[in-house]
A and B are shown apart, each in its own frame.
Chain A
Amino acid sequence: MIYLDNAATTKPDPKVIEAMLPYLKEKFGNASSAHGLGQEAKMALDDARRVIAKSINAKDDEIVFTSGGTESNNLALKGVLFANKEKGNHIITTKIEHACIMNASKWLETKGYKITYLNVDREGFVNPKELEKAITKQTVLFSVIHGNNEIGTIQNLEELGKICRKHKVLFHTDACQSYTKVPINVANQHLDLVTLNAHKIHGPKGVGALYIRSGIKITPVAHGGGQEKYRRGGTENIPGIVGFAESVKIANFANTKKMEKLRDRLIEGVLKIPNTRLNGPMKNRLCNNANFSFAGVEGEAIGSYLDSSGICVSTGSACSSASLEPSHVLLALGLKPEEAHGSLRFSISKYTTEEEIDRVLSLLPKILQKLRRISPIEKLIRRL
Chain B
Amino acid sequence: MYSKKVMQLFKNPKNVGEIKNADGVGKIRNPVCGDTTEVFIKVKDNRISGIKFKTLGCAAAISSASITTEMAKGKKLSEAEKLTKEKVVKQLGGLPENKIHCSVLAVDALKEAIKDYKKRCLKAK
Chain A residues near B36: list those with CB within 8 A: 376, 380
A-contact bits for B45-70, CB 8 A (1 contact / 0 none)? 00000000011111111100000000
CB of A308 within 8 Å of the partner chain: yes
Segment at the interface with B among A246-254, A255-263, A297-305: A297-305
Chain A residues near B22: list those with CB within 8 A: none
Question: Contacts A301-B62, A324-B33 known; A375 to B55 CB distance under 8 Å?
Answer: yes
A-contact bits for B71-102, CB 8 A (1 contact / 0 none)? 00000000000000000000000000111011
Question: Contacts A304-B2, A374-B16 known; A319 to B58 CB distance under 8 Å?
Answer: yes
CB of B23 within 8 Å of the partner chain: no
Given the complex of chains A and B, what is the CA–CA distance between A321 and B54 in angstroms?
A: 23
Chain A residues near B117: list those with CB within 8 A: none
CB of B3 within 8 Å of the partner chain: no
CB of A325 within 8 Å of the partner chain: yes
Asked whether A319 lies within 8 Å of B60 as measured between CB atoms, the reply is yes
CB of B38 within 8 Å of the partner chain: yes
Distance in Å from the Cβ of A380 to the closest Cβ of chain B? 6
A-contact bits for B34-45, CB 8 A (1 contact / 0 none)? 111010000000
CB of A100 within 8 Å of the partner chain: no
Asked whether B11 lies within 8 Å of A322 as measured between CB atoms, the reply is no
Asked whether B59 lies within 8 Å of A304 as measured between CB atoms, the reply is yes
Asked whether B30 lies within 8 Å of A298 as measured between CB atoms, the reply is no
13 additional contacts, CB 8 Å, given A322-B97, A326-B34, A376-B55? A296-B56, A297-B56, A298-B58, A301-B10, A304-B59, A305-B10, A317-B58, A324-B101, A338-B34, A373-B16, A374-B13, A374-B55, A380-B56
CB of A341 within 8 Å of the partner chain: yes
Q: Provide 19 A-B residue pairs closer than 8 Å at the C-beta atoms, listed in order of the A residue.
A: A296-B56, A297-B56, A298-B34, A298-B35, A298-B56, A301-B57, A304-B10, A304-B58, A305-B10, A305-B11, A319-B35, A319-B61, A319-B99, A321-B98, A322-B98, A337-B34, A376-B38, A376-B54, A376-B56
Given the complex of chains A and B, what is the CA–CA distance between A286 and B34 in angstroms?
A: 29
CB of B19 within 8 Å of the partner chain: no
Chain A residues near B98: list those with CB within 8 A: 319, 321-322
Chain A residues near B122: list those with CB within 8 A: none
Chain A residues near B30: list those with CB within 8 A: 324
CB of A64 within 8 Å of the partner chain: no
When the two chains form the complex, which single residue of B11, B16, B55, B58 contacts A300, counting CB atoms closer than 8 Å? B58
Which among B32, B99, B101 has the greatest number of chain A C-beta atoms within 10 A?
B32
Chain B residues near A318: list those with CB within 8 A: 32-34
Total residues of chain A contacting the partner, CB 8 A: 26
Chain B residues near A319: list those with CB within 8 A: 33, 35, 57-58, 60-61, 98-99, 102
Given the complex of chains A and B, what is the CA–CA distance between A266 and B97 in angstroms?
A: 34
Given the complex of chains A and B, what is the CA–CA distance between A338 and B34 in angstroms?
A: 6
CB of A377 within 8 Å of the partner chain: yes
Distance in Å from the Cβ of A92 to the closest Cβ of chain B? 29
Given the complex of chains A and B, what is the CA–CA distance between A273 and B61 in angstroms?
A: 24
Chain A residues near B58: list those with CB within 8 A: 298, 300-301, 304, 317, 319-320
Chain A residues near B61: list those with CB within 8 A: 298, 319
When the two chains form the complex, which single residue of B7, B55, B101 contacts A308, counting CB atoms closer than 8 Å? B7
Given the complex of chains A and B, what is the CA–CA distance between A297 and B61 in angstroms?
A: 12
Given the complex of chains A and B, what is the CA–CA distance between A374 and B69 in angstroms?
A: 14
Given the complex of chains A and B, what is the CA–CA distance between A326 and B7 in angstroms?
A: 23
Closest residue to B60 on the A side, CB-wise? A319
Distance in Å from the Cβ of A274 to the closest Cβ of chain B? 16
Closest residue to A370 on the B side, CB-wise? B11
Chain B residues near A373: list those with CB within 8 A: 16
Chain A residues near B102: list those with CB within 8 A: 319
Closest residue to B32 on the A side, CB-wise? A324
Given the complex of chains A and B, what is the CA–CA distance between A198 and B101 in angstroms?
A: 37
Closest residue to B38 on the A side, CB-wise? A376
Which among B33, B56, B98 has the greatest number of chain A C-beta atoms within 10 A?
B56
A-contact bits for B2-38, CB 8 A (1 contact / 0 none)? 1000010011010010000000000000101111101
Which among A304, A324, A374 has the greatest number of chain B C-beta atoms within 10 A?
A374
Distance in Å from the Cβ of B91 to the closest Cβ of chain A? 19
Chain A residues near B11: list those with CB within 8 A: 305, 308
Chain B residues near A297: list those with CB within 8 A: 56
Asked whether A304 lies within 8 Å of B7 as measured between CB atoms, the reply is yes
Given the complex of chains A and B, what is the CA–CA distance between A320 and B13 in angstroms?
A: 21
Distance in Å from the Cβ of A266 to the closest Cβ of chain B? 23
